[in-house]
Structure 1
Amino acid sequence: MNARRSAATLAAATMLCMAAAPVATADTAPPANLPSGLYGKTDPKYDGVFRQSYALLAQDTVGVKPAAKAVDWLTGQACDNGSYAAFREDPSKACDAKTVVDSNSTASAIQALAALGGHDAEVKKSVEWLRSVQNEDGGWGYNPGLPSDANSTSLVVGALKAAGQNPAEVKSQKDKAPADALVALSMDCAEGKGAFGLADMKTGKLAPNADATAAGVLGGLEQGLVVKAAAKSEPVKCAKAADAKAAAQIGAAYLADTLAKDGYLTSSMPGAEDQPDYGNTADSVVALSAAGLTDQAKKPLEYLEKNGAAWAEQSGSPAAYSQLIFAAHAAGADPKDFGGTDLVTALNAMGPAPEKAESAAAKDEKKDEDSSSMNVWWIIGVFFVASVGVGFLISGRKKNSL
């Protein structure tokens, strides 16, 4: 760990690692002159690239083409080496040693840009940067130099897959792959009940963490933020994980058991009472669906359908709506009618209007027009060939009569 890193920065990094999508609160005072291409109106200092990536990826997931200025804003945040910081107020200024870049912002940007297509060069450069800061254990921390954690490692695994890479072949100098780090971050049955752990800042000891587990499940299954439900399965019994995929299934069973009572995860700040954690609950729905525990995902999904939209609106963050869209997509729900709320419209309203997409009727009409045009030209072509043939025939007759 970098000894010069301030305690405040470490605390911020740890909090961001604990939440797969850092969500700013609606009462955060936004800075003056927010970029017109940026989604959300809260201060983007700690989550600008993250929330933009989530928003663009969520729009793509539901068939919405993001505004060009929104995509340009994201690509414009990249440093020359392909890395991303949480937010750069002046992207025209080159990144330097003081620019705090991180794996989470970079990996989320990769997943968004890879899904949108047309950004192969940018994606390749960002992947190369991630590979250059891989820890010796095969994983990644939030910032280069920090110990590997399940959230960051899994987010990078999703980015590698999105970029067409095989995570098993992305190895450290000690020949360790991301799966090795994830297995090391999964806890035994006695202390952690098979959950993925999050290291305590003071002791470094792992403690079971539901959010880290939701992320670890996706990483172990080599899935990104957007998943389709796997074939239905049942929770496995806790045992020593032989590999990352086994650790993922065990972690999914831990999530299922944790969510079985209330249908939601809880979180609390020091001195505060436990309260529902909507974002991590949404992440868990995605993880359970990816692991094939579709029955176990129903209860938390229903809870989110009843309460998630109010949370997203209060948070004022596009990342919140995006997480709900990812959960709906993974569990087979309708994001345009999620407990009576159109998540897609709500997300679109938080930034520049998306590109206008042709309606199905317009596409059919255009197809009919193209077909009619082809028919007209085919008829003209037939008459042309026929007239040429008649011309040759008449010409031949004239020659024979001479």
Structure 2
Amino acid sequence: MLTAARLGAAALSAALLAGLAAGPALADSPSPTAAAPDGLYGKSDPTYDGVWRQSLALTALTAAKVTPADSAVGWLTGQQCEDGGWPSYRAAGAACDPKTEDSNATAVALQALVALGGHQSAVDKGLQWLKANQNADGSWAYNPGNPGDANSTGLVVNALLAARTDPASIAKPGTGGAAGKNAFDGLARFQLGCAAPADQRGAFAFQPDPAAGTLAPNTLATAQAALAAAGGHLPVASSVHADATAKPLACADGSAPATVPHAEAGEAVSAYLAAQLGTDGGHLTLTTPGAEPKPDYTATAWAALALIQSGHPDQAADAVDWLEGQGATWTKNGTDAAATATLLLVDQAGRRSDAALLGQLTALGPTPKAEAPSTTAAPAKEKSGGIGQFWLIIVGLLVGVGGGLLLSLQRKRNPKL
């Protein structure tokens, strides 16, 4: 959140599990068919992740107090369709196709525009699109008209929170005038509760099993949905430090609710993620059928963001350390815009030094209108201060020598001095 082409909504939803919104992994490989347009961050094929990586880049840069170029912001707003939704990418001059608009691109674009400020009309239209494409069970699918999934629903909840819209108030009308399921209800249907084994409680499934309706933990679904369960959105600000250890879901025999209550969802998934990070050496692991397990950079990043949002930065620290140590590999030495922006967002949330990453991300797009104060003012100030101190010393020495010579001359003229 990987297929080489769109094979329908089900395939796209499954693709989320392998790469973060079906885009970044594909975009890592250059394509001869789609060159990156002006204003877009990154030079690789934008077909599957143009809006995604642009939104992450603009969000991270804005959080670093960088003012992006008008062309970068204009590229993102220009991708929005008249009905308010965003596709993963739309070539210049191409008409919007409602079938290609997706909740993931729309959700991250809204978070970027909220962070930037000054784009309320586009934000309002995007919110209306999300509301219109909510499923009756309160969830969202990658593409409208399909069963919802945890990743997409979590991203939409992030967007609602960023836009200061209460997810509990967003619901499709139920039958017979009854209240429908809201966005928090939709998210809750994917979270494993007290009916699951103790070591799985708090995790999220991507989707229920189509036949049995049961839930099985999924690494990326859990990590992405966790930020929404914790009540957060991008960019994640360092929150107030809570308990040193996240509290697992409390389950009383025979009386536990069928789903995890919203008030306990964030803490329950934080406890699950902290346990997984501890087991895997500070990172989460991607397991796909027929392939060797391998570290999951994207899931680890979202897990760290969720833990920090939940007030558990200490439990996120090992994950942040691991991501920083693997940064060159994950970001392809700062050439992968989505990975670079995501790592920068993690460092910002974890209050880590991000000057190098910021420079790498800035270099991947158009020249910003204004650089971050910390990267432009500090060197000049330091240089000016050093020269000032040097001249003060010289002037002091001259004054001292001059005073001594004057006193010596006065003594020669007047021996009584």
Aligned: 1:243 with 2:261? yes
The 8 Å contact of residues 309 and 321 in structure 1, kept in 2 or not, is answered as no
Aligned: 1:300 with 2:319? yes
Question: Counterparts of 1:356-371 in structure 2 under 5 Å?
Answer: 356-357=370-371, 359=373
Question: Counterparts of 1:107-146 in structure 2 under 5 Å?
Answer: 107-146=107-146
Q: For 2:209 and 2:46, how far apart are their aligned partners in 1?
A: 25
Decide whether aligned partners of structure 1 residues 264 and 180 sit closer, same or farther in structure 2, where only a CA change above 3 A counts: same
Q: For 1:269 and 1:294, how far apart are their aligned partners in 2?
A: 29
Decide whether aligned partners of structure 1 residues 72 and 188 sit closer, same or farther in structure 2, where only a CA change above 3 A counts: same
Deviation string for 1:123-151 (max 9, x for gaps)? 10111111001111112111111222221
Decide whether aligned partners of structure 1 residues 95 and 6 sit closer, same or farther in structure 2, where only a CA change above 3 A counts: closer
Of 51-60 and 233-242, more deviation after overlay is shown by: 233-242
Residue in 1 aligned with 2:223?
214
TM-score (norm: length of structure 1): 0.81
Mind listing any 5+ residue stretches in structure 2 that lack a counterpart? 175-179, 251-255, 381-417
Shift of residue 315, structure 1, vs aligned partner = 8.3
Question: Counterparts of 1:4-153 in structure 2 under 5 Å?
Answer: 7=7, 10-16=10-16, 19-21=19-21, 22-24=23-25, 26-31=28-33, 33-90=35-92, 92-97=93-98, 99-153=99-153
Root-mean-square deviation (Å): 2.5
Decide whether aligned partners of structure 1 residues 357 and 296 sit closer, same or farther in structure 2, where only a CA change above 3 A counts: closer
Q: How many aligned positions are there?
A: 353
Residue in 1 aligned with 2:364?
350
Amino acid at match of 2:328: A
Decide whether aligned partners of structure 1 residues 326 and 10 sit closer, same or farther in structure 2, where only a CA change above 3 A counts: same
Residue in 2 aligned with 1:277?
296
Which secondary structure does the structure 1 equivalent of 2:234 belong to?
coil
Q: For 2:334 and 2:353, how far apart are their aligned partners in 1?
A: 22
Residue in 1 aligned with 2:189?
184
Residue in 1 aligned with 2:242?
232
Deviation string for 1:336-380 (max 9, x for gaps)? 2xxxxx1111111111111134858979x9xxxxxxxxxxxxxxx
Which secondary structure does the structure 1 equivalent of 2:285 belong to?
strand
Q: For 1:273 and 1:218, how far apart are their aligned partners in 2?
A: 28
Amino acid at match of 2:79: Q
Deviation string for 1:11-59 (max 9, x for gaps)? 2332125543542353332535431111111111111111110111110
Residue in 2 aligned with 1:164?
164
The 8 Å contact of residues 56 and 112 in structure 2, kept in 1 or not, is answered as yes
Decide whether aligned partners of structure 1 residues 201 and 123 sit closer, same or farther in structure 2, where only a CA change above 3 A counts: same
Which secondary structure does the structure 1 equivalent of 2:216 belong to?
strand
Q: For 1:75 and 1:272, how far apart are their aligned partners in 2?
A: 39
Q: For 2:62 and 2:316, how far apart are their aligned partners in 1?
A: 23
Residue in 1 aligned with 2:206?
198
Of 353-362 and 99-108, more deviation after overlay is shown by: 353-362
Q: For 2:6 and 2:76, how far apart are their aligned partners in 1?
A: 27
Which secondary structure does the structure 1 equivalent of 2:65 belong to?
coil
Mind listing any 5+ residue stretches in structure 1 that lack a counterpart? 337-341, 366-402
Shift of residue 331, structure 1, vs aligned partner = 1.7
Q: For 2:270 and 2:320, how far apart are their aligned partners in 1?
A: 15
Q: For 2:287 and 2:297, how far apart are their aligned partners in 1?
A: 12
The 8 Å contact of residues 17 and 149 in structure 1, kept in 2 or not, is answered as no
The 8 Å contact of residues 140 and 149 in structure 2, kept in 1 or not, is answered as yes
